[in-house]
Amino acid sequence: MQRPIIEVTNLAKNYGSRPAIDNLSFAINPGEIFGLLGPNGAGKTTTIKVLTGQLHPSQGRVKVLGGDILQHKDQILPLVGFVPEATNLYERLTVYQNLQLFCRLYRCSVAMIDDYLKHVGMVEAKHVAVKTLSKGMKQRVLLIRALLHKPQLLFLDEPTAGLDPNSAQIIHTLLADLNKQGMTIVLTSHNMEEVEKLCQRVAFLHKGCLEQIGEPTALKLKYRANQVRVLIKAGESVSEKIISLNGEEGGRQLADWMRQDIVRSIHSLEPSLADVFVKVTGGEFD
């Protein structure tokens, strides 16, 4: 069995007397796309900053790639990529100049720049000043920058927030391709469709605490209402009925409609991940 690529034990981070994250313990396996979910202020960004060595925890321990992130930061960070929520590119420089500067800082080859620009459809923008780019194009540049040194582990904080569907899809495709190649990816997002599409496991944070963790499908089944939507023929029209399968009454009603041969379709009412989000976080969906 493979050792977790990230191990978090009793992690806490306080800002003064206010806890931003409180007693978190979880592990992330190699090759996963793992989602940190929760409303604004839940502690997602703080957690990622601690995992990437940008913040010192108030309590607990974080191991990344087998080493303590505080004790072995200089050895670990060259193996980690990070895409922040806020754009922090050099606006007056061109796309290529921004990426070339990063390669110099990390002492990695510039050979991959053109390949990644082609992959995200930005070859023609190579010599364009960053300040003239759309938010979606800037986000693609940030993602390329985080990949140039070939990290084993990639963190993304709201990677597609505010992006148009085309830009979001380009990023999704690249992330899925990287994951197929074995890269472990940790992301935060408010976009539940994005999370369901990409993540193998998710953790829900609420007020700094870990409320739920698991596979999206398993979590949806856990919070299902055990109801079905039945379309039945009513004269010349079709009507919709919602019945509960808890107890015998709903089953008898469904059996009666089926004997009358008026059932046209039966649909399970499995909740979406957004529904689970609302239940777990007490109705907060930013």
Q: How does pLDDT run across 156-184, given as a tens digit for each residue?
A: 998 888 888 988 999 999 999 999 999 99
Q: How does pLDDT run across 103-152, given as a tens digit for each residue?
A: 999 899 999 999 999 999 999 999 999 999 999 999 999 999 999 999 99
Q: How does pLDDT run across 186-234, given as a tens digit for each residue?
A: 999 888 889 999 999 999 999 999 999 999 999 988 888 788 888 989 8
Neighbouring residues of 280: CB distance < 8 A, sequence distance ≥ 6:
204, 206, 211, 212, 223
- The CATH number of domain 6-221, selected from 3.20.20.10, 3.40.630.30, 3.50.50.60, 3.40.50.300: 3.40.50.300
Between strands 227-234 and 237-244, the pairing is antiparallel
Q: For the whole model, what pTM was predicted? A: 0.86
Asked if 51 and 8 touch (Cβ cutoff 8 Å), the reply is yes
Q: What is the dihedral of CA 279, 188, 175, 144, to 10 degrees?
A: 160
